Amino acid sequence: MSTIRSAIKAFVADEDGVTAIEYGLIAALVGVAIAGAATLMSTELKNMFGYIGTELAKRPT
C-alpha cells in the first residue's frame, strides 16, 4: 500500500510534461483564433478581389 501512495505522490509531483501541455494548449488557442479571424474576413476579401477583378476587366488592353 505504501508503494502505491509513493507512486501517486511521485506522479502528482512530476511536472516534466506540464510545460509542453501548456504550450500545446496555447498553440491550439492561437490556431482557433486565426481560423475564426479568417472566417470573418473571408467575405470581405472575396468582395475586395471581386471588385479588383471587375475594375481590371473594365480597362482596355
* Residue range(s) defining the domain that contains residue 16: 2-58
What's the pLDDT score for residue 19?
Answer: 80
Task: Quote the number of domains for the chain.
Answer: 1
Residue 49's identity, in one-letter code, is: F
Q: Which tens digit of pLDDT belongs to each residue from 19-29? A: 888 899 999 99
Buried b (16+ CB within 10 A) or exposed e, 13-47: eeeeeeeeeeeeeeeeeeeeeeeeeeeeeeeeeee
The Cα 15–Cα 22 span in angstroms is 11
Q: Which tens digit of pLDDT belongs to each residue from 2-60? A: 888 888 888 777 777 778 888 999 999 999 999 999 888 998 899 999 999 999 999 87
Q: Is 31 helix (H, G, I), strand (E, B) or coil?
A: helix
